[in-house]
A = this chain, B = another copy of it.
Amino acid sequence: MARKVTQDEQGPYVIDADELDSQGGTVAVCQCGLSDNKPHCDGSHQATADEDDGVVYEYADDSADGERTVVSDD
């Protein structure tokens, strides 16, 4: 269970106390790569729940809305 996603940012996103406050005390950072609201989580990781072990997928438009294809299967 893994996926190839395209990253186009060239620097980090800095979270400080003001950011935490504006988000209600916690910030959930996307780690699946499919969020349409990066670097914040938008729940897109739910689409990865049924990925098979050892398989790498690619999601159309790097989004949980699209189809996915298998790019490698070990």
Contact = CB atoms under 8 A, between A and B. Distances in A.
Contacts of A9: 31-32, 45
A6 B57 CA distance: 9
A62 to B, nearest CB: 9
Contact of A7 (B5, B8, B41): B5
B12 A45 contact: yes
A46 to B, nearest CB: 9
B31 A26 contact: no
Nearest to A41: B12
A12 B39 CA distance: 10
A33 B7 contact: yes
A25 B63 CA distance: 32
